[in-house]
Structures are given as structure tokens and as C-alpha cells.
Structure 1
Amino acid sequence: MYFNKYPHRSNFSFVETFDPETGVVTAGVRVFATEVDSHEGDIYHVRVSNPDVWPETCGLSELDVPAPCARQRLKANDDFQLSLLGRDAKPLITGEFGVSGDASMFVFELGGDARFYGMGEKYFGKMELSGYRTKFWNTDVWGDFHFAQWGEHPSDPPYFSLPYLVAKIGDEYVGFLLHNSHPTFIETPGSDESRVFVEWQRTSERLILGSEGGEPNLWVIYGPSLAEVTRKLQKLIGTTPVPPAWSLGYHQSRWGYGGHADLMRLDEGFAKHKIPCDGLWLDLDYMDGFRIFQTNEANFPDGVSTTAETLAKHDRHIVPIIDPGVKKESGYRVYDDGHAQRVFCQNAEGGEYVGLVWPGETVFPDFTLPRVSDWWAGYIQEFAESGFGACWIDMNDPSTGPVDPNGMRFADGKLPHEAHHNDYSLGMQRATFDGFRRARPHERPFILSRSGFIGSSRYAAIWTGDNLANRFYLKSSIPTSVNLSISGQPFNGADLGGFGGDVTDELMLDWTKAHFLFPFLRNHANRGTRDKEPFAFPEPVMAVIRRYIRLRYKLFPYLYNLFVQQEEQGDPILRPLFYEFDGVGLDKIDDQFMVGPSILQAPFVEEGVKKRTVTLPGLEPWYDAANGDWIEPGERTAKAGRESTPLYLRAGAIVPMQPGTPVDNTKELRDVNLHLFMPPAWSGESELEYVADDGISYAYTSGARSRLKVRVVSVDGNLAIATDQTQDGFGLIAPTFVIHGDPKSVRLNGSEVVLEKNKVTLAGKPLAVVVVRA
């Protein structure tokens, strides 16, 4: 497998003849069947088949395909030239299809002003992705590349493959999803002079999407906006079920935490310093000789359940690591059982495929087989019942150490490795999810995974792999996580402060301020590096880290409701600025992002910078959460402050928050403060549907959820607030309104109210507010 060499269109035979009645095409000397199907929502499926070339499989990922639709915005003409019509009924894109052996490609002509986003998890450090060639093949970056390639430079491909691209053509958007578990590739037109030192390195003038094998299945999604295309994609590949509330808290991890003693020390530290924390994580050290599902009893002298019960007093969960690799050792229960049941992947000779990872010689469950997934889920169930609250699954790229993974075969040895390399992690996620559901049928599982594929959004959060404590990884984390979010994996985040290397005080502060509202927030560190628990830093540094962890918990109702909207509508949590706003050049901004529709972050990511330019989009003023000023839109200058960070809220926003300043991980969704951000003498309208449930069970799916609709109308600063509880399955929601602004008058549900003056601290100094109690 070449990571950085790509099929070239000159080596392909493109369709020469097409029978529209039968769908049969010829390309070179071969004949193929084609289908161009239309589905509701302007979603189209192009499939090319020939069982002698490609087995009829799309891998393990499932799609929620919309109903068929008579509308045909995407058409194939008499020469099988694909044409997608835009809103003016003129071709927005035109394309052709070609084959070379069992490789295939679609080549599209787009308008000259086309721009590109998405591509799943990529470390390119840019939001807009014109002029790139990239491959989708899950790797173990630290194992498969030399340090010089990933230390302070983008390595490609990384751990997670999601072969999706969205193109902006004029003011219309088109999404392209290659539903193929084989290695795929994308080449975007455009120019990046920094990477071109000879002319032939330039990418094609046309968009190329292809695969090195597997049946060609291309999904094309049309939409007038990025938001509409993203929602359609997310519903097609699977929205993220609302996770357990505790998973959205702060998490502490380190390679080196081994068991009960470490967990008690951490529990005491977070309680002593009044720092909210929901998850305490264990790396490899808790295992007995790297044997999965086998805990080192010396690390838990009274059993895992006893430790779990003690941590439960502070509502903390133990989250251990699990790798797919099983130590090849007679007498080890898991291996002996798996060997007897023939659950492991085979090699070309029909024996068990053996890699070299943490346990030494290692074998791997074949998750392409339902009986093997069931076998794995049984061990996960036992593991969960022992006291573990969740798990993180690592090395599931799959990583095989120095052994060539291409020797690993799937489906009882019938399928070559490339058929399921990319979705191996998806199979592990699904089986692990099933195991936790068996152990706790009424509780939402939480699984974190390093690798993934199309559909991982249904089962697991993703962390963006091993990173380093340097500015490259801090800066690149923003476009990486945002592009991953709009590619259909919204529950993601990077290791806070960097996994490898010693983080400096200043870098840790900048990283915390940048990431404190990322969907997943975990502080993780490598063995032998500086201690990174918040209370391991000097008191002034710890105080700032604590401040932003607490602010995350204060904003927990907002984050939780974004996940509710993700499950119901498909909107991501992190968004590029142009997801919410129109404006020239917004897609070139790589160091700002939106958290939901209302919060804009513009963190400091460069070392030693005292000020930075912030772009505030739209036509209305923004509220500066550091000092309470209202700032007109446009390019503005923000000054660096040790305790503050550039954090802005849009005019008219209704943002649910917890009351006061949280000092522990308590979460109460019914007693909520609804913060209204109203500029002076503002005229406008805002609406919010706020949701509350128990945050842990599936009872909300059968009605145990409450909904409150809030509508705010302001006329020259005179506010009228209306509330309507439309669902009460989780009881009464009791809102308190906190107004950032100086309203002339306030009416609540038609009645005048008493206004209380108070102060609230967000991202800087205490801010004057007006409080209205329902």
C-alpha cells in the first residue's frame, strides 16, 4: 500500500457506450451494469456493478436510505455523462466514470470557483481543501510513519477514514460520499504553491473520486447550503444518538494510571480543588500483561466494582482501554476460547493471522462475521458488569505493529485484507456497543474509538489520535475537528495539551481555552511526560484551567441540547463560520469556529502573540463574553489575556446554562438559566426549543423528556418573552432568564416582571446582567 501515490486517469478506460434502457455500459473491453437512483431530499446513488470484477458488498457500514423519488436532478445522458442540475436547471457538475482493473474513478468538471471541505479526519491544518490528493486508509500514525513525518507536519492518511467531500460551487453545495470500504482516494482541483516544487505535482483540473478496489458506490447530495447538505449526509450515514450526559464532561487520562490507588488519588485531587470531572481513564497498565479482558488483580485488590462504587459517590466513571489484539497464548482464557471457536482473522495459509503489538504475538477477532461480533459482545458484557463504566478502543486501525497487515484476511479467510481494513474499527465499535447494551440495557453506552469509518457516528465518539504538545497540533486541531464534524462524525476531539511531549504552562492554557467546548474533552498524557492533571500545574495556571472546565459545565445544557439537535436534525456541534453566515473569505479562516449556532470562538493558538484579528461575521453586533461589550461585525482586534479568551455570542442568542459556577459535576437540566443576549435598543426575534431528560437512560425515546419552547421578541429594547412547555415527560422545566443587555422593559408571558440586577462571569471579568425569574 502506497500512502502517497495515486491512480492516474490516463491509465483508466472510461465509458464509451451506454444503453439507457438497460443501464449497461462498456468501458474498454468490459461490460458493466449501472444504476442512477434518485431519493427524497435530492440524494442520488450511482452504482456500477460487475460480479466478475467486484463482489457485491459495501462493507460493514449501514445507510439509512431515503425513499425513492421521481425527481432527477442527477441524470446520465446517452453517453453516461453524469450531470447534476443546479437551482437554475443548468448543469452544476458534469462527470464521467472509468475503470482500470478493479480500480475505479469518477471525474467531475466543476465551476472554476469551486471550493472544497470535509474529507473526514485530515491533519492538513486548513478548512478549505483545494489542491489536495489524499488517500483513505486507516493507519497507526506513530507506528506507520517516522517521527519526522508526524512530529510537526501533517501525516496522511491518519487513523480515521471517512471518504466524503463537500464542494461549494457558487452559492450551491454538493456532497460526495464514496460508500466503499476498500482504499479510496480524492483529488481536488486547485493550487497550493507551498506543496508544488515541480509542475507535475499539481492536482488535476477536475475533481477525482475513486477506489483502488471494491464496487463503485457514489452518493451525491445536493443542497442550497452547507447546513442542508450536512444534515442530509448525517441522516444518511447515521446521526449520533444522544450520549450519556457524563460523557460530555471533563475527562482525565494518562498512560501510567494503573488501578485503584491512582484513581483514588485523582478522585481526591478533583474534589479537593473543586474541579468538575466525570471520567477517570486507564491505559494499558491496568491489564494483566497486556491481556485484554484480564485485569491485573494487584491493581484492584478489592475488585473493580469496589473502586467503581467509591468513585460513584462523586459520579465518576472508570474508562479503561481495550485493544482488539488478543495475546496468542495457550492457557489464556480469551485466546483459548477464541481459538476453539475460530473467531480470529486468518492468514493466506488458513491459520490464524499473527501480528506483533503490545502482548507480543497477537491475533485479531474477525468482526466481519456476526458470530464473532456476538462472541466479542459477550466478553464486553462481562467486562462492563465487573464495574467499568465505559471503554475506549484503541489500535483498531487495525494496528499490527511491524507485521504487514495485508496478510490479514476476513470472512473466514475468503476476503482480502483491503476489503475490510477501513471498516474493521466500525465492526469493533458495533460489537462493543452491543456488549454494553447487554450489560446495561437501559443505559446509553459511551465508547471512544481511535479509528473509524462511515457510520461510526452511530456507535462511538472519536479522538483524533496520538498528538504532541506543540503548536502544530493545537493549530491543526481546529480545522481537523471541524471538517470531521461536517463529514458526519460530530462527536470528536483531540487530546487536551497533547499526548506526547512535555506541555508548557502557556501552551496548556491556550489549548484549554481553545478546546474547552469541543464535543469531547479529555486530558491525556504519555508515559514519562510531565504530569498534566489541572492541579499538577502552578496555582495561577491551575486556576485558569479550572475556570474553563467549570465554564464547560456551566454551558453543559447548551452542549447537551446541541447533541439532541444532532440526533434529531443532523447538525454538528462544531461548525465553520460559513455554516451559519454568508461572507467572502470565511472558509479561509482556520483558527475560528462556531460551537452550535450561538457561540463563536477565536482562540489564541500562536506562541507569544499579544493580539489577534477576529472576524465577526453577519450584520449584527456580537457580545464579548470577556468584558460584556457589544462589538460591531467585521474584522476586529482581540487582546490576549491570561484569564480571558476571545469568546463571542451572537445578537439575539438564547443560551441555556447551569446556574452559578459549577464546582463539581452535578448536572440538572430542569433548573436552567436561559441567557438572552440582547444588544441595546435591539429589534428582532429569537426562538429556542430547550430539552431536558435524565441524561443517562433511553427513557426519553418513550416519552420521558420535557420540552420548553421560548420565543423572545424585542422592539427597540422592549422585550417580550413567551414560554410554552410542550412536553412534560421529565417534569416541569423551571427557567430563569438572565439578560445580557439593558432592556427598557421586560414582559414574561404577557405580564410585567421584577428585574433583578446581578453579575455573571463567563470568559473574563464579572458581567452585569438583569435576572427575570419565572
Structure 2
Amino acid sequence: MLIKMEPNEYWYGGYVHDGIKQPISKADDYRCDLRFNTSPNQMMPLFLSNKGRIIYQREGYVIHFNHGVIDVPETVIFVDGQKDLRGAYLYAMKQWFPFTGSTLSDALFHQPVYNTWIELTFNQNQQDVLNYAQKLLESGMPAGVLMIDDGWSDYYGKWSFNHGKFNDPKAMIEQLNRLGFEVMLWICPYITPDTVEYRYLRDRQLLVKNHDQSVFITEWWNGHSAVLDLTNVQTISWLEDQLQALMDLGVKGFKFDGGDSLYYRTSNVTAKPVTPDEHSLLWATFAENYSYNELRVTTHAGGMSLMQRLCDKNHAWGDSGVKSLIPNSLLQGITGHPFCSPDMIGGGEYLNFLELESTSLDKELFVRHSEIAALMPAMQFSARPDRFLDGKYFQGILNGVNLRAHWIDTLMAVIKEAKRTGEPVLRYMAYVFPEEPVATITDQFMLGHSLLVAPIYEKGTEQRNVYLPKGTWLHEGETIESEGMSRIMTGIFGAPIVLELKQ
């Protein structure tokens, strides 16, 4: 099927990781293979245009935008006549990924989230976790959800605290609770081979297998592991029991890492036949049962009650770092993933981060990443700001945290609306102002329909160009009447420029 693009038409969708490359215009040659999620982030087999048109198919397909002509298989659903980007999204969402009510805890959004990964990497231990939390509070940061990352257990599949590293995990959790923190733990769907848990699961047919009935061993970023067969209800029961024992200690929920389509095979043998993408989705479906959750990669998980993080970003200014945060987060929302987190502040790629720590950590970049996240649904720190930053740089972090506190009622109201209606929390300018020439603006966003947020994301500048659609805007006590104009504005270091639209 060939679809001709309309004048001034722009398209958004597919891979969240490609948000930095969108929207797609008549000038572009862009090919996207949605048959198998090869990315480290969310994917939806959906494209929407600012002219109210929709391309969708539950099963993946190849789409080619070729200089104004869209080439798709005859089997895809093509919908026209939905007027604008918002109309297209609302139609698609109600048809194919309706929100049925989110159970996500408000705690994931109300305060910053903290993750111990960058500070402790694989050396997670009770004393250092407590020290991390205590130092955060002493520096002036507020308490929030605290995720203890990979390394807290003996090995993958034995989901209990390593007694050498955590001599009294219940007491630790109680102490963290007294300090104001709620605890989540990192887990994955992988099982370390040649362990008691591996043999138990193998003997009960609860692991993914090869055609010859041997146990399938996948290679992922931490080595070689067996994989839970999530199509088997007995596997689900086993995993639920492991996690319930942790929750009985006071753990609130889990960071569900892994489960990437890339780590399954089409030749896998499971209790019920599934594709790699479908098996990946089962990991997300399991995670949805927990009100405290976080995922990084899903396929066709639009409409689900999941806090979805962008993949690990480099400590860099360009497309692999902070420049991609706003465009990719916006694409998350328009493809049905409104509860987004723009990675760990400063960069979640820990090897990259550690290499720079002793030589060339960019303090300004750290603060600007924080600024971008300040009014996004989740604001997640891992590297402890006070350990790396001082003076105006640490104050910049506090500026962003304080701005979030100032607007928290507005942010939580938009999140509550998103839970009910499925509309994005962060919205493209074209989503809110379809009559304005804003389809290509992806470096500023609307928080709901009333707040325009414009972070500074380029090195060495304190100003940026902000497009103000028609209307009356308030900015730090100033009233601005706009007929649709661009304006150079200066922000407070670490806090994005925020303008409120008066109806």
C-alpha cells in the first residue's frame, strides 16, 4: 500500500529510541522494521500524523517513508479523518491500547526517585545503601523511592538478600522507611545456570527450552543465563512467591530489568508458543501487578500501568545523551507510555560514567539533565549530586528539585488525568496547538494543556529560543501576550523555563 503524505504533514511513532529522528517529513527517507523489537526501549507498531491519520497493525511490519510516499503492507490498518495529532492518538488509544485504570503508586512521581547503581554498581551492600540515603538527606535532597540495583542477591534467580552484604535487610528497610524512603529492588527474568534454583526450575519445565528440549541459554549484558518461561502459570507462581517473601520484609516493588526481545529466539520452546516480542510483553504484564514498578523495554505495552524509563544514556550532550531526552520522552507519550522517566540524571551508562568521573565529568551536563527531568513524570538520580557537584552546580540541582516541588500539584493532576484517560503527561506542542506551526518542535513540551516547559539542553548557554503559541502566558510574574512568536528567554540554572497558559 502506498500512502501519499499531505502538505505539511509530519509523522510520529514506532521506536521510542528514534524520537530524536522525528517527526518524519516529506524530506525524509526513513525505514522502520517493526517485526521484531531490536531496540533497548519501548516499541509500538503505530504511527500518527499531525493531520489526524493513523497507521497500525498489531503484528509488526516494515514501513518506509520515502520522500513523501509511505510504503506499508496491504494488511496494515490505515485510518484517516481524525483531524489532528490529538484526535489520531485518542482514536488509536481507544481502539488498540485503552487505559483501564493505572495502579502505579504516586510515590514514583511525587518525589525524586533514587537508584544505587552508579554509586555502588555490583557492590550493593547494607552499609553503603544506608550511607547513600543518609548523605542524600544531609545534602538537602528530599527522601523518595530508593531502588537497590543489581548485586543485592547471591545470583540471578535466587531472589533473597546476600547475607554477607546485607546482614539484616529487614532492619535496613525499616531504617530507610524511617528516613522517608520506600524501597524497590532490581530483578530480571534470568537464572544463573548450575545453581539450586536453576535445577529446581529445569526439573519442573519452568525454563525456556531449545527444540531438542535442552535448556535455552541466552547471552545478555551480564553473561549467559537460563530464562524463565513466562507462558507457564507455574513459573509465574514461583516468581510471585519469591517476590512476596521480599515484600514481607517491607520491599514495595521492583525494577523489572531485562526481558528484551533480543534475548529470546523464534526457535524457543515454551509452554505456550510465543514470539520474542510476545515473551517480552509477558515480563511487562507480570510487572503490571506491582504498583511500584519500572521497566526499560517493552513491545506493544501502550496503555499499561508501567513506569517506563528511557534506556541508559551516555554522559554526553548529543543524540546519545541529553539532546535525546525530550524527543524520546515525547514519543513515549504519543505511543501510549505516559509514565516516563528520562534515565538516571547524569547518564545511566555506568562504564561511560565511571570513565569520566576522575577526569572529565561535565558538571554543567549533569545539571542540565536534572533540569530536563525536573517536570517530567519521574525525576531519577543515581550518582549522588553532592558527591560530584558543588557551588552553583549543586545549587542548580536543588533549583530543579525545588521547582518540581512548586509545581507538584499540577504535575500530579496531569498524572492522575493520564491514569484515567490515557492522554500523554508530556505533550508535543502540536498535540495541544494543532493550528500553530509547531509540528517540528521537539525540544520544549507541554505538561498537560497548561504548562509550557522549555529546558536548556545545550552546553555553555543560559538562554534559549522558546516558541509561544497564541494566548496569554505567565512567566515569573510577567504577563506575555503572544500571537504566536519565538522569544529568547533566560532560565534559572537547573530549572527549566516554565510558562503557564491562562485560559
- Shorter-chain TM range is 0.7 to 0.9
Contact 1:513–1:645 (Cα < 8 Å) also in 2: yes
Contact 1:509–1:544 (Cα < 8 Å) also in 2: yes
Classify 1:383/1:124 alpha carbon distance in 2 versus 1 (closer, same or farther; 3 Å). Answer: same
Distance 1:408 1:292 in 2: 27
> Is residue 161 of structure 1 aligned with residue 43 of structure 2?
yes
Counterpart of 1:135 in structure 2 is 33
Contact 2:40–2:260 (Cα < 8 Å) also in 1: no
Letter of the 2:248 partner, please give it: E
Which of 269, 281, 284 does residue 426 from structure 1 map onto?
Answer: 281
Counterpart of 1:378 in structure 2 is 241
> How do 1:244-643 residues align onto structure 2 when only pairs under 5 Å count?
244-248=105-109, 249-255=111-117, 256=120, 258-302=124-168, 304-330=169-195, 332=196, 334-357=197-220, 360-398=223-261, 400=263, 405-406=264-265, 408-412=267-271, 415=273, 419-434=274-289, 436=290, 445-455=291-301, 457-472=303-318, 473-495=321-343, 496-500=345-349, 501=353, 502=356, 503-524=361-382, 531-534=383-386, 536-618=388-470, 620-625=471-476, 628-633=477-482, 634-639=485-490, 641-642=492-493
Deviations 1:160-182 (A, max 9, x none): 2211100233xxx02222212xx
Specify every segment of 5 or more residues in structure 1 that has no aligned partner in the other structure, as ranges.
Answer: 1-95, 97-106, 140-156, 191-204, 437-444, 525-530, 653-774
Letter of the 2:58 partner, please give it: H
TM-score relative to the length of structure 1: 0.58
Specify every segment of 5 or more residues in structure 2 that has no aligned partner in the other structure, as ranges.
Answer: none
Q: Which of these two proteins has the greater Rg computed from alpha carbons?
A: 1
Secondary structure at the aligned position of 2:141 is classed as coil
Distance 1:241 1:274 in 2: 32
Secondary structure at the aligned position of 1:186 is classed as strand
> Is residue 125 of structure 1 aligned with residue 4 of structure 2?
no
Shift of 1:329: 1.4
Letter of the 1:247 partner, please give it: L
Classify 1:306/1:184 alpha carbon distance in 2 versus 1 (closer, same or farther; 3 Å). Answer: farther
Q: Which has the higher contact order (CA 8 A, sep 6+)?
A: 2
Secondary structure at the aligned position of 1:284 is classed as coil
Distance 1:533 1:643 in 2: 12
Contact 2:468–2:487 (Cα < 8 Å) also in 1: yes
Classify 1:299/1:650 alpha carbon distance in 2 versus 1 (closer, same or farther; 3 Å). Answer: same
Contact 2:400–2:496 (Cα < 8 Å) also in 1: no
Deviations 1:59-82 (A, max 9, x none): xxxxxxxxxxxxxxxxxxxxxxxx
Shift of 1:124: 4.7
Shift of 1:108: 2.9
Give the root-mean-square deviation of aligned CA atoms: 2.5
Deviations 1:732-757 (A, max 9, x none): xxxxxxxxxxxxxxxxxxxxxxxxxx
Classify 1:539/1:111 alpha carbon distance in 2 versus 1 (closer, same or farther; 3 Å). Answer: closer
Distance 1:395 1:587 in 2: 34
Distance 1:474 1:535 in 2: 21
Distance 2:387 2:481 in 1: 39
Classify 1:237/1:480 alpha carbon distance in 2 versus 1 (closer, same or farther; 3 Å). Answer: same
Contact 1:574–1:595 (Cα < 8 Å) also in 2: yes
Secondary structure at the aligned position of 2:71 is classed as strand
Task: Give the structure with the higher percent strand.
Answer: 1
Secondary structure at the aligned position of 1:227 is classed as helix
Distance 2:73 2:150 in 1: 38
Distance 2:133 2:47 in 1: 43
Shift of 1:478: 0.8
Letter of the 1:209 partner, please give it: V
> How do 1:89-108 residues align onto structure 2 when only pairs under 5 Å count?
96=1, 107-108=2-3
Letter of the 1:133 partner, please give it: R
Contact 1:592–1:601 (Cα < 8 Å) also in 2: yes
Contact 2:208–2:215 (Cα < 8 Å) also in 1: yes
TM-score relative to the length of structure 2: 0.87
> How do 1:16-55 residues align onto structure 2 when only pairs under 5 Å count?
none
Counterpart of 2:11 in structure 1 is 116
Classify 1:233/1:355 alpha carbon distance in 2 versus 1 (closer, same or farther; 3 Å). Answer: same
